[in-house]
Every structure is written in structure tokens, then in C-alpha cells.
């Protein structure tokens, strides 16, 4: 990595996070956070997803790369439509529920506790 002109960070979205392999890679290089050694290097961030979590992964990868000293180019987003073709019933149901355009499936109240206002 030290001899490369740049690095490409790539991870698909797994439960709104990078894969375990990518997380392990980042954790193994955690010491670089304290002494960035890639200040003259470029980085490209790429992630893929079918539904949600893309921004979470891109933000995390960019955060790690910048802390290591990389100059990060604009992230590349790739959304695929595999689910629509392979599982049309699920896809249609999610579309009817409006879940495809949400970060969370159910509308919920933030305050789940029934706490009366203070007197």
C-alpha cells in the first residue's frame, strides 16, 4: 500500500455496515490513525447495495481513509435491483408498504416511554 499511488476501498452493504472482512482490514490498520502515512495517496470509495445502508458504509469507509491520510475522491454508489427480479412478491410488498424509500421499515415514536410532563 505504501508503494501504490492510491487505494480503492470497496465493500457491499451488510446490515448497514461494511463486511466483516473490510472491518477486520480497517481494525488491523488502526495504528495508522495515530500516525497517518498515506498523506500523498488518493483513495476511491465504492459500495453496493440493493436497498438501504449505502450512506452508512460510504461514510464509514471515507472516515477511515481520511484518518489514514488519504485524499478521498467522491464516493461511488452502486444500487442493484437483484431483489426486484429474483423475489418480485417481496419487492412488490415492500414497495406497497413504502419501505424502499425509507431508512427504517416502521414509523415509530421516538419517545417509547409514557412519561408525563414535569410539574
Instruction: Give per-residue pLDDT as tens, 56-86.
Output: 999 999 999 999 999 998 766 666 665 666 7
* Pick from 64, 52, 78: nearest CA to 22: 64
What band does 113 get if pLDDT is binned at 50, 70 and 90?
low
Instruction: List, by residue range, all CATH 3.40.50.360 domains of the chain.
Output: 6-80
The model's pLDDT over 78-97, given as tens digits with 9 standing for 90+, comes to 666 656 667 778 778 878 87
Dihedral sign from CA coordinates of 33, 72, 46, 93: positive
User: If one looks up domain 6-80 in CATH, what number appears?
Assistant: 3.40.50.360
Amino acid at each position: 500500500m505504501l508503494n501504490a499511488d492510491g487505494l480503492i476501498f470497496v465493500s457491499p452493504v451488510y446490515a448497514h455496515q461494511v463486511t466483516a472482512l473490510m472491518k477486520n482490514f480497517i481494525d488491523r490498520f488502526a495504528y495508522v490513525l495515530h500516525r497517518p502515512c498515506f498523506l500523498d495517496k488518493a483513495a476511491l470509495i465504492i459500495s453496493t447495495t440493493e436497498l438501504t445502508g449505502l450512506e452508512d458504509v460510504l461514510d464509514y469507509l471515507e472516515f477511515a481513509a481520511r484518518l489514514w491520510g488519504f485524499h478521498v475522491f467522491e464516493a461511488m454508489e452502486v444500487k442493484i435491483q437483484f431483489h426486484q427480479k429474483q423475489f418480485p412478491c417481496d419487492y412488490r410488498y415492500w414497495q406497497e408498504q413504502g419501505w424502499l424509500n425509507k431508512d427504517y421499515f416502521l414509523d415509530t415514536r421516538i419517545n417509547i416511554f409514557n412519561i408525563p410532563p414535569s410539574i
